[in-house]
Chains A and B, each alone.
Chain A
């Protein structure tokens, strides 16, 4: 497995994102758009309220797959994986908070038991402020990060379930997610 955390951090922070023909590009290839975090919360909540939990999770998962496939294709090709630290550095850079792994037991065949805290995510924080306990943001994000965990950490059948949610005041400033397979 190639460890690209240090060069990734340096490159991300300084050079890998550039503007090119009115576009924001990572490594000159992957397009990114700056979105207001509060606006993202609304974009997820309004249609999300009309979906079942499983539909919304799947929506987030499919969306996450698109992102990670793009990143992998650009950075390392398809046969290597990216470290947790590298992904956390990227998440921090793009303003998506951080994931702290409280528990991370994984094996080569993809079996795992992971417990993670999602912290400092502005989309979740705005969702809490706007929607409180009826926020469905975390369902979408759990799907998104489940896809990330599968592809980035080489796991299988990741389905992040919610143990604690800050929108429901079950934790002060983090959401706790778990997957076990």
Chain B
């Protein structure tokens, strides 16, 4: 497994993102768009309200996998599991404006078996969502699905199903997500 956390951190933070012809590109290949975090909170709330939390989780899980695949392609890395480390993931999410992610527990065994616990803080989408929708916020459902989709590819685990143990909408200092298989 290539250890690319240091390289990834340096490149992503300093050079990997460039603007070209009115577009934001990562490694000259992958398009990115800056989107208002508050508007994203509204976006996921409407979907959750209209189609339910299972739909929203599945949508964001699928989206997480799509995004992870695109990133491996842009970085010219073979899309097999476990190509990166928790440090790299944390650095990338920090750079993208997703707040802070902390791996409290990260046990990865054979054949993708795992026990993961992560804490998230300072996620602007979650914060705006809770401000606008309170306890009815669906932001963490979206976030759990997205992290699960990414995690399967990036950490080389299988059958991730992240469940939320604590949430800032209930007054906790962080959101805690756990998956065990």
Contact = CB atoms under 8 A, between A and B. Distances in A.
Nearest to A58: B46
A96 B125 CA distance: 19
A111 B53 CA distance: 41
B37 A32 contact: yes
B22 interface: yes
A31 B34 contact: no
Interface stretch (B61-69, B103-111, B151-159, B172-180): B61-69
Contact of A33 (B24, B37, B42, B62): B37
Contacts of A35: 32-35, 40
B19 interface: yes
Given A37-B32, A38-B70, A120-B21, A22 B37 contact: no
Contact of A40 (B23, B35, B46, B50): B35
A46 B145 CA distance: 15
A132 to B, nearest CB: 17
A31 B62 CA distance: 25
A172 interface: no
Interface residues of A, number: 42
Interface string B20-55: 011110000011111111111011001100110001
Task: Give the one of B95, B122, B124 with max A CB within 10 A.
Answer: B124
Interface stretch (A62-70, A75-83, A100-108): A62-70
Given A66-B38, A95-B34, A36 B46 contact: no
A22 B99 contact: yes
B96 interface: yes
A31 B37 CA distance: 5
B124 A23 contact: yes
Nearest to A64: B39
B115 interface: no
A123 interface: yes
A46 B59 contact: yes
B129 to A, nearest CB: 11
A11 B116 CA distance: 42
A59 interface: yes
Nearest to B56: A47
Contact of A126 (B31, B43, B50): B31
B31 A38 contact: yes
Interface residues of B, number: 44
A24 B62 contact: no
A31 B125 CA distance: 8
Nearest to A62: B42
Interface string A33-62: 111111110110011001100000001001
Given A38-B66, A39-B67, A120-B21, A95 B39 contact: no
B79 interface: no
Interface in B70-113: 70-71, 93-100
Given A95-B22, A122-B23, A126-B31, A33 B96 contact: yes
Given A36-B31, A62-B42, A96-B33, A42 B63 contact: yes
Given A34-B96, A42-B63, A46-B59, A95 B47 contact: no
Task: Give the one of A24, A36, A43, A46 with max B CB within 10 A.
Answer: A36
Shortest 8 CB-CB distances between A and B: which pairs? A31-B124, A24-B97, A31-B37, A122-B31, A94-B34, A37-B31, A95-B24, A92-B22
